[in-house]
């Protein structure tokens, strides 16, 4: 059974890859990709069901934090019912999004600002080295260069230093990261195609 | 081994029939059997049971029986005694117990001197009862050889008490009781005594002891009465009175010469068959002793030479004689020596007196020589004649020899703790006042007071010499009992007659100093079955003190200082292993929390305050037209799309960054919608994309009043992530099969290339990258503009540099440029002051805090390096 899974996985990958190079295989490629999309959608539903099951179990066994699990499930079912019944363009649904979803997530994101600032302040206490200092100085520069002063902006800083840092230093690093990601993705795909990695189970 | 008995003394095996051990001659058989019933020993508080003397016949000791037989045989001698004495027995109704003694005049050689001295003419050899150690009642039966001899040279075989000698009339007690005996009934026997003539009211001699027993007093009265009457008169006429007692009465009456004095004059010798010879001799001696000094009887009559007289009694005569020859030579101590007429053995039972004079030892030695063995063993050595009572024997085993009669032994340590007043000393203690009567202490026992004795004997009318055995007031003088006198433990207890039982001072006064430690061992037991015995170990816990305490051994280890130091070090090491390490993070945690709160508070206050104040202090960044400016490129690309063209808007950002994206995308969408009026097609790869798109169009872009279905359509959620984007990019109609493709907005649009522009709104570089990489090849000539947050901008810049996208608007700073290009202030302007102030505060915190922590970090590092 495990061999079948491996064969199917490998064959599917090769066909999809070949479909990029062989136009005759494009139809199969499209079919396989369609199946992939369906499976991804089903996986989302399965995830939702798993979420319901986990939190429902916590509620049943009266574990610690079961109250929050109950609130989550209630919110889930309410949003689901509202979304299906009212639609995304319904003003009530919009009110739900604008009054609950967006503020809650925005609040969590706002805490990140304080945490990152505190981490930046204590960076040099935890790690007193050159890179830490450079990193901190760069961050200070960019922050300072992104903002303007009441009496006006500092033109060299805003028009020259900050763009150069972004387009030279940042861009270079970004490209390197992206190339590394690309290469890593390619390698991982090849490993799956060659059966070296089997994320779908089995040895 | 049947029928064999093992001697308890020597361990020799003897036949069961033997009475005495063949090896050590100790008694094997008890004298009496176990006491049962009415024969049970007397318990404290119980009244003595009266018994008929005849019932006690079987238990009489052998020697007593022999003495009785001798008395019976020498019945003929009794008239001699009576003839010797002046027969002046008055006729009285009361039996004169000492009539026999009264008949013994001075001519009677058989009258012992001690008896004579009892009557008041005893020599000054009386000893005052010493009370050194009170509460000891003993019957000192020491060896007469050790007793101070009254006359060393006197080797006369004749007992001194039998020789008529002047006896110091110091002791009236003997005479008194003798005189009383003539008046009262017989106290010794239970037989009904004849009515005794009422004793003449003879005033007691001034020298008489205040503690005279009642019966003795009666005797005195009787004797005085007898004195007035012819001596020939028969004293007691009752047939029930024993003859010996009758004779005693007669002797008392006949010998009475001084009315003022207690006289004990045995009139007739004891003629009863029951009277033992020794008692007969006592009568005679008492007569002679009771006489005043100036009227002392002549030399005692011929001593009782009868072969039937026991030797001890003979010896007593000689001893008494020697005593009488030494009158009042005692020092002016408290108690002079007893009368010389008093036999030594009798003296020993009297009050103790210190033999301070050389005469005393001589007397003692002489007396010792004539004292019978059994009496020797019982009497204390060397002190017997002087009332060895001065000895302070603490043993309960008073000097009772093995052969000592039981009745005599029982008299000794009845109560050793009762103090007898000196005046109640034994009968034979001579008095310093110079009484004519001189008595020798019969019993050297200081355990009982004479008063106690009197109380006991008063009702019983005991002879004085017997009562003195219970009079203990004087502690023994010096010597302890000889070892031979110590009870060997083989003496079996005998059944005590009732009168002896009565003598047991159970109810007698307890010694006052019973609590004394020294006397505790010498105290007389008053409770329990051992009542009356001396030297009983107390049963009260705590009273007994351990003779020897166990040695206390130190449990401390003998360890040297070095070893102790090593052990202490080891203990310290072990303690450190188990000791918990204290945690020291409370202060650090507290400082972190405080810093966070401070930062939060400052940011909230500053940013919130400037935002709600709608100030426009901070200037917008200038728009510098740079060639590779991504913002300018985005503006340019969107200005090139035709009007009313379909534009695909992908909303792939999270609600958390909706505020930044709306602020960033608002200027661009305002420009696009205002200038080009495109048909928007909204799609999203996140479930909340559609909602966010609606939000943007209904709030930020509400001024543009875009209508759903006519100006924009929402294709919904595009599932499949990367694959879905790819599929949509290939065939949008199949990726999202909906009827909207037939709507007016999407009329005739089936491919991605059919759109004029693709605007991707994303907050992450990954989503933007996916759309760029997947949809880019399929966009054809459509402009591809990406609107991202400031955090994703650098990551998407390469795609800008590579030409994969046509424009990039990243962050509020770029949006401000777009807004400047639009020429109208919008949301960006509203947020710019708060945005700038927040950034400046962050920069300040980072600079100051960073510097401070940098210093602290250096110090911590240096401290660590030093450690």
Q: Name the residue of chain B whose CA is nearest to A102's CA.
A: B655
- Which of B592, B723, B764, B767 to probe by mutation at the A interface, max A CB count within 10 Å? B723
Better pLDDT: B39 or B430: B39
Compute chain A's Rg from CA coordinates: 25
Give the three-class secondary structure for B171.
coil
Better pLDDT: B25 or B36: B25
The pLDDT of residue B372: 56
Distance CA B265, CA B279 (A): 14
A15 near B CB under 8 A: no
Give the three-class secondary structure for B679.
strand
The pLDDT of residue B692: 92
Sorting pLDDT into bands at 50, 70 and 90, what band is B669?
very high
Distance CA B328, CA B150 (A): 12
B708 near A CB under 8 A: yes
Sorting pLDDT into bands at 50, 70 and 90, what band is B785?
very high
CA A74 to chain B, closest CA, distance in angstroms equals 18
The pLDDT of residue B30: 74
Mean pLDDT across A90-106 = 88
Of the ranges B120-124, B631-635, B699-703, which one carries the lowest mean pLDDT score?
Answer: B120-124
Nearest to A106 among B655, B769, B846 (CB): B655
Burial B575-601 (b: 16+ CB within 10 A, else e): eeeeeeeeeeeeeeeeeeeebbeebbe
B200-247 pLDDT tens trace? 444 444 444 445 556 666 665 655 554 444 444 444 444 555 566 656
Query: Does B251 score more than 70 pLDDT?
Result: no
- Structure tokens that stand for B651 in this block: 């909303």
Nearest to A98 among B695, B731, B798 (CB): B695
CA A18 to chain B, closest CA, distance in angstroms equals 16
| Greatest CA separation for chain A | 72
Say what percent of chain A tops pLDDT 70: 99
Better pLDDT: B25 or B320: B25
Distance CA B490, CA B17 (A): 16
Say what percent of chain B tops pLDDT 70: 45
Sorting pLDDT into bands at 50, 70 and 90, what band is B517?
very low
Answer yes or no: do A121 and B691 touch at CB < 8 A. no
Contacts of B186 (CB under 8 A, 6+ apart): B95, B97, B193, B240, B241, B242, B245, B461
B453-509 pLDDT tens trace? 555 555 555 566 665 554 544 444 444 444 444 445 567 777 778 887 777 765 555
Answer yes or no: do A148 and B619 touch at CB < 8 A. yes
A166 near B CB under 8 A: yes
- Report the alpha-carbon angle B762-B764-B767, nearest 5: 70
B794 near A CB under 8 A: yes
Q: Name the residue of chain A whose CA is nearest to B716's CA.
A: A88
- Structure tokens that stand for A187 in this block: 């390698």
CA B840 to chain A, closest CA, distance in angstroms equals 6
Sorting pLDDT into bands at 50, 70 and 90, what band is B807?
very high
* Residue with tokens 């007389």, as numbered in its chain: B524
A93 near B CB under 8 A: yes
Q: Enumerate the residues of chain A whose CB falls inside 8 A of the CB of residue B857.
A: 124-128
Nearest to B694 among A34, A89, A152 (CB): A89
The pLDDT of residue B354: 43
Query: Does B444 score more than 60 pLDDT?
Result: no
- Structure tokens that stand for B779 in this block: 């966009």
Mean pLDDT across B243-272 = 49
Q: Enumerate the residues of chain B whose CB falls inside 8 A of the CB of residue A151.
A: 619
- Structure tokens that stand for A128 in this block: 């007193």
Mean pLDDT across B854-862 = 85
Other CB atoms within 10 A of residue B661 CB: 24
Contacts of B127 (CB under 8 A, 6+ apart): B330, B333, B335, B336, B337, B338, B350, B351, B352, B353, B354, B355, B386, B387, B389, B390, B429, B430, B441, B474, B477
**DSSP label at B45?**
T
- Structure tokens that stand for A68 in this block: 């929050």
B569 near A CB under 8 A: no
Distance CA A177, CA A169 (A): 12
Query: Does B573 score more than 70 pLDDT?
Result: yes
The pLDDT of residue B758: 95
The pLDDT of residue A49: 94
Mean pLDDT of chain B: 67
CA A33 to chain B, closest CA, distance in angstroms equals 6
CB-CB contact of B330 with B361 (8 Å):
no
Contacts of A24 (CB under 8 A, 6+ apart): none
Q: What is the ipTM of this complex?
A: 0.90
B601-638 pLDDT tens trace? 988 899 999 999 988 888 888 877 777 788 999 999 99
Answer yes or no: do B599 and A118 touch at CB < 8 A. yes
The pLDDT of residue B403: 53
Distance CA B691, CA B587 (A): 47
Nearest to B621 among A106, A123, A158 (CB): A158
**Bridge-partner residues for B251, per DSSP?**
B99
B659 near A CB under 8 A: yes
CA atoms within 13 A on the CB side of B528: 10
The pLDDT of residue B94: 53
Closest CA to B664 of B468, B452, B810: B810
A40 near B CB under 8 A: yes
B384-406 pLDDT tens trace? 444 444 444 444 444 444 455 56
Phi–psi pair at B428, nearest 5 degrees: -100, 15
- Which element (helix H / strand E) includes B491? none
Better pLDDT: B24 or B376: B24
What is the CA B752 to chain-centroid distance, rounded? Answer: 108
**Bridge-partner residues for B551, per DSSP?**
none
CB-CB contact of A5 with A203 (8 Å):
no
CA atoms within 13 A on the CB side of B69: 8
Query: Does A38 score more than 70 pLDDT?
Result: yes
- Structure tokens that stand for B103 in this block: 């008949």
Mean pLDDT across B566-589 = 78
CB-CB contact of B411 with B171 (8 Å):
no
Query: Does B665 score more than 90 pLDDT?
Result: yes
Query: Does B854 score more than 80 pLDDT?
Result: yes
DSSP B127-160: -PPP-SS-SB----B--BTTSPBS-TT---SS-B
Burial A70-83 (b: 16+ CB within 10 A, else e): eebbeeeeebeebb
* Residue with tokens 């023994």, as numbered in its chain: B476
The pLDDT of residue B398: 45
Q: Enumerate the residues of chain A whose CB falls inside 8 A of the CB of residue B854.
A: 124-125, 128, 133
- Report the alpha-carbon angle A160-A163-A169, nearest 5: 115
Query: Does B564 score more than 60 pLDDT?
Result: yes
The pLDDT of residue B206: 44
A185 near B CB under 8 A: no
pTM of the model: 0.49
Answer yes or no: do B694 and A174 touch at CB < 8 A. no
Q: Enumerate the residues of chain A whose CB falls inside 8 A of the CB of residue B615.
A: none
B325-359 pLDDT tens trace? 444 444 444 444 444 555 566 555 544 444 444 44
Closest CA to B415 of B470, B458, B346, B350: B470
- Which of A23, A174, A184 to probe by mutation at the B interface, max B CB count within 10 Å? A174
Report H helices in B201-333: 214-228, 243-255, 277-290, 311-324
Q: Enumerate the residues of chain B whose CB falls inside 8 A of the CB of residue A174.
A: 794-795, 797-798
Contacts of B143 (CB under 8 A, 6+ apart): B368, B371, B376, B377, B379, B381, B382, B384, B482, B484, B485
Better pLDDT: B299 or B537: B537
φ/ψ region of B720 (left if φ > 0, alpha if ψ in -120 to 50, else beta) reads: left
Give the three-class secondary structure for B5.
strand
Q: Enumerate the residues of chain B whose CB falls inside 8 A of the CB of residue A124.
A: 850-851, 853-854, 857
A63 near B CB under 8 A: no
- Which of B594, B843, B853, B862 to probe by mutation at the A interface, max A CB count within 10 Å? B843
CB-CB contact of B303 with B314 (8 Å):
yes
What is the CA B240 to chain-centroid distance, rounded? Answer: 63
Say what percent of chain B tops pLDDT 90: 18
CA B736 to chain A, closest CA, distance in angstroms equals 11
Better pLDDT: B107 or B748: B748
Pairing of strands B757-762, B783-788: parallel
Better pLDDT: A152 or B721: B721
Answer yes or no: do B839 and A89 touch at CB < 8 A. no
Question: Which of 585-614 (B) contact A at CB < 8 A?
Answer: 592, 595-596, 599-600, 603
Mean pLDDT across B527-535 = 79
Answer yes or no: do A124 and B857 touch at CB < 8 A. yes
**DSSP label at B115?**
H
Query: Does B809 score more than 90 pLDDT?
Result: yes
Nearest to A166 among B619, B695, B794 (CB): B794
Distance CA B853, CA A133 (A): 12
Query: Does B197 score more than 70 pLDDT?
Result: no
Closest CA to B223 of B177, B179, B175: B179
Of the ranges A149-158, B303-312, B723-732, which one carries the lowest mean pLDDT score?
Answer: B303-312
Other CB atoms within 10 A of residue B384 CB: 42
Question: Which of 743-782 (B) contact A at CB < 8 A?
Answer: 769
- Quick one: CA dihedral B44, B47, B48, B51, positive or negative? negative
The pLDDT of residue B788: 95
Answer yes or no: do B730 and A30 touch at CB < 8 A. yes
Query: Does A156 score more than 70 pLDDT?
Result: yes
The pLDDT of residue B545: 59
Q: Enumerate the residues of chain A whose CB falls inside 8 A of the CB of residue B797.
A: 166-167, 170-171, 174
- Which of B709, B850, B851, B861 to probe by mutation at the A interface, max A CB count within 10 Å? B850
**Bridge-partner residues for B683, per DSSP?**
B650, B716
Nearest to A101 among B688, B734, B839 (CB): B688
B692 near A CB under 8 A: yes
Sorting pLDDT into bands at 50, 70 and 90, what band is B763?
very high
Distances (CA, A) of A53 to A41, A64, B271: 19, 16, 135
Task: State the count of interchain CB pairs (< 8 A) between A and B.
Answer: 184
Answer yes or no: do A147 and B655 touch at CB < 8 A. no
The pLDDT of residue B427: 44
Distance CA B259, CA B157 (A): 34
- Structure tokens that stand for B274 in this block: 């029951």
Answer yes or no: do B621 and A153 touch at CB < 8 A. yes
Other CB atoms within 10 A of residue B608 CB: 11
The pLDDT of residue B293: 44
Q: Name the residue of chain B whose CA is nearest to A143's CA.
A: B839
- Which of B628, B809, B837, B857 to probe by mutation at the A interface, max A CB count within 10 Å? B857
């Amino acid at each position: 059974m495990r061999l079948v899974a491996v064969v199917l996985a490998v064959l599917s990958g090769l066909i999809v890859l070949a479909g990029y190079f062989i136009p005759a295989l494009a139809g199969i490629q499209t079919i396989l990709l369609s199946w992939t999309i369906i499976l991804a959608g089903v996986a989302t539903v399965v995830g939702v069901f798993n979420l319901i099951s986990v939190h429902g179990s916590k509620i049943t066994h009266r574990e610690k934090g079961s109250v929050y699990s109950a609130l989550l499930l209630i919110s889930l079912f309410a949003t689901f019912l509202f979304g299906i019944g009212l639609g995304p363009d319904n003003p009530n649904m919009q009110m739900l999004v604008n009054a609950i979803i967006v503020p809650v997530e925005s609040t969590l994101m706002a805490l990140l600002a304080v945490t990152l600032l505190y981490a930046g302040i204590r960076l040099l206490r935890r790690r007193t080295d050159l890179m830490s200092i450079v990193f901190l100085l760069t961050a200070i520069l960019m922050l300072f260069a992104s903002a303007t002063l009441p009496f006006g902006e500092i033109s060299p800083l805003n028009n020259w230093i900050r763009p150069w840092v972004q387009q030279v230093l940042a861009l270079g690093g970004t490209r390197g990261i992206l190339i590394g990601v690309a290469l890593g993705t390619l390698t991982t795909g090849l490993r799956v195609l060659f059966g070296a990695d089997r994320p779908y189970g089995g040895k | 081994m049947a029928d064999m008995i093992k001697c308890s003394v020597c361990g020799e095996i003897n036949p069961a029939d033997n009475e005495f051990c063949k090896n050590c001659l100790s008694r094997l058989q008890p004298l009496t059997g176990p006491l049962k019933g009415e024969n049970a020993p007397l318990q404290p508080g119980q009244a003595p049971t009266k018994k008929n003397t005849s019932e006690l016949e079987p238990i009489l000791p052998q020697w007593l029986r022999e003495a009785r037989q001798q008395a019976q045989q020498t019945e003929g001698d009794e008239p001699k005694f009576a003839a010797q004495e002046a027969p002046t027995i008055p006729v009285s109704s009361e039996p004169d117990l000492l009539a026999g003694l009264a008949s013994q005049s001075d001519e009677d050689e058989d009258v012992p001197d001690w008896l004579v001295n009892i009557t008041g003419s005893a020599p000054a050899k009386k000893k005052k009862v010493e009370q050194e150690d009170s509460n000891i009642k003993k019957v000192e039966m020491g060896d007469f050889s050790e007793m101070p001899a009254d006359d060393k040279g006197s080797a006369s075989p004749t007992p001194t008490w039998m020789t008529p000698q002047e006896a110091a009339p110091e002791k009236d007690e003997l005479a008194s009781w003798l005189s009383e005996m003539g008046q009262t009934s017989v106290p010794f026997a239970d037989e009904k005594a004849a009515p005794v003539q009422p004793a003449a009211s003879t005033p007691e001699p001034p020298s008489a002891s205040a503690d005279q027993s009642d019966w003795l007093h009666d005797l005195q009265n009787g004797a005085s009465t007898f004195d007035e009457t012819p001596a020939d008169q028969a004293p007691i006429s009752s047939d029930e009175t024993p003859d010996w007692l009758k004779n005693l009465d007669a002797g008392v009456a006949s010998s009475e010469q001084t009315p003022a004095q207690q006289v004990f004059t045995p009139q007739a010798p004891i003629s009863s068959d029951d009277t033992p010879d020794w008692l007969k001799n006592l009568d005679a001696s008492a007569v002679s002793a009771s006489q005043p000094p100036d009227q002392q009887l002549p030399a005692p009559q011929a001593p009782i030479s009868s072969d039937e007289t026991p030797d001890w009694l003979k010896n007593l005569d000689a001893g008494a004689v020697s005593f009488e020859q030494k009158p009042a030579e005692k020092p002016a101590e408290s108690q002079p020596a007893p009368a010389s007429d008093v036999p030594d053995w009798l003296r020993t039972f009297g009050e103790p007196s210190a033999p301070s004079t050389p005469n005393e030892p001589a007397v003692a030695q002489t007396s010792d020589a004539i004292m019978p063995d059994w009496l020797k063993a019982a009497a204390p050595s060397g002190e017997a004649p002087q009332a060895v009572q001065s000895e302070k024997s603490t043993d309960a085993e008073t000097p009772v020899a093995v052969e000592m009669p039981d009745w005599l032994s029982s008299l000794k340590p009845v109560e050793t703790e009762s103090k007898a007043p000196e005046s109640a000393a034994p009968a034979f203690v001579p008095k310093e006042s110079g009484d004519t009567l001189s008595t020798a202490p019969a019993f050297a026992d200081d355990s009982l007071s004479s008063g106690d004795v009197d109380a006991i004997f008063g009702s019983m009318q005991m002879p004085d010499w017997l009562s003195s055995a219970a009079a203990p007031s004087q502690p023994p003088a010096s010597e302890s009992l000889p070892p031979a006198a110590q009870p060997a433990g083989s003496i079996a207890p005998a059944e005590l007659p009732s009168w002896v039982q009565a003598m047991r001072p159970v109810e007698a006064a307890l010694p006052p100093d019973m609590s004394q430690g020294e006397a505790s061992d010498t105290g007389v037991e008053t409770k329990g079955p051992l009542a009356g015995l001396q030297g009983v170990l107390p049963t009260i816990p705590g009273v007994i003190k351990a003779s020897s305490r166990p040695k206390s051994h130190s449990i401390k280890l003998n360890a040297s200082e070095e070893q102790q130091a090593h052990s202490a070090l080891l203990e310290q090491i072990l303690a450190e292993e188990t000791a918990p390490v204290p945690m020291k993070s409370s202060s650090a945690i507290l400082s972190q929390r405080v810093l966070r709160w401070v930062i939060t508070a400052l940011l909230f206050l500053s940013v919130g305050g400037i935002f709600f104040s709608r100030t426009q202090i901070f200037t917008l960044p200038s728009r510098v037209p740079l060639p590779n400016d991504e913002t300018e490129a985005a503006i340019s690309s969107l200005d090139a799309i035709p009007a009313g063209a379909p534009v695909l808007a992908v909303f792939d950002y999270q609600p958390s960054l909706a505020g930044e994206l709306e602020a960033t995308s608002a200027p661009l969408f305002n420009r696009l919608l205002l200038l080009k009026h495109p048909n928007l097609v909204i799609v999203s790869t996140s479930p909340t994309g559609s909602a966010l798109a609606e939000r943007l169009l209904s709030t930020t872009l509400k001024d543009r009043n875009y209508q759903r279905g006519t100006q924009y359509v929402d294709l919904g959620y595009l599932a499949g992530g990367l694959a879905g984007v790819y599929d949509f990019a290939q065939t949008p109609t199949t990726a999202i099969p909906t009827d909207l493709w037939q709507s007016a907005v999407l009329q005739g649009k089936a491919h991605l290339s059919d759109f004029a522009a693709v605007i991707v709104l994303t907050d992450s570089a990954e989503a933007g990258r996916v759309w760029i990489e997947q949809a880019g090849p399929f966009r054809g000539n459509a402009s591809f503009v990406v609107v991202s947050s400031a955090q994703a901008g650098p990551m998407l810049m390469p795609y800008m540099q590579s030409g994969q996208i046509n424009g990039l608007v990243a962050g509020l700073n770029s949006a401000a440029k777009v807004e400047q290009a639009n020429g109208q202030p919008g949301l960006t302007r509203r947020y710019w002051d708060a945005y700038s102030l927040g950034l400046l505060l962050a920069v300040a915190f980072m600079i100051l805090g960073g510097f401070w922590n940098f210093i602290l970090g250096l110090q911590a590092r240096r401290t660590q390096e030093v450690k």
